[in-house]
Structure 1
Amino acid sequence: MPDPDAKAERDSAGERPEPGVADAVEATESYQTEEGVVFYDAENPLAWMQAGEVIDLEETA
């Protein structure tokens, strides 16, 4: 007799969970300084990075 759970496992094996990009983007804030743009996590302001120039990711890929 076939195992109904086996089919569910096969069906979900190729699926990948949606990354939490939307949550990460919503929690990201930025501000501009003389040296460039600073991006930071609004929920954890100590997590930040600074960019000296803007790069279009579609052009570099």
Structure 2
Amino acid sequence: MIMTPKSGVLLAGSCVAAIAAVGCIFELSSGTPDLGVPTTGIILALSAPIGVICFLSAVSDARKHNS
């Protein structure tokens, strides 16, 4: 399967969002997040679905252009 530029950018965005989500989970589990609980929670709430959406969009785009 060949990756298109669009699917590559979406996959990179998915990776960044996943890293942010995991980082937020670790920060929140430490008890004292550097950015505060509300800000870290908002970042987690946004980055988790964005990561999933970007990943699914990257796979969909790659499949569409390789058919």
Larger Rg: 1
TM-score scaled by length of structure 2? 0.27
Structure showing the higher helix proportion among its residues: 2
TM-score scaled by length of structure 1? 0.29
User: Which structure is higher in RCO with an 8 Å CA cutoff and minimum separation 6?
Assistant: 2
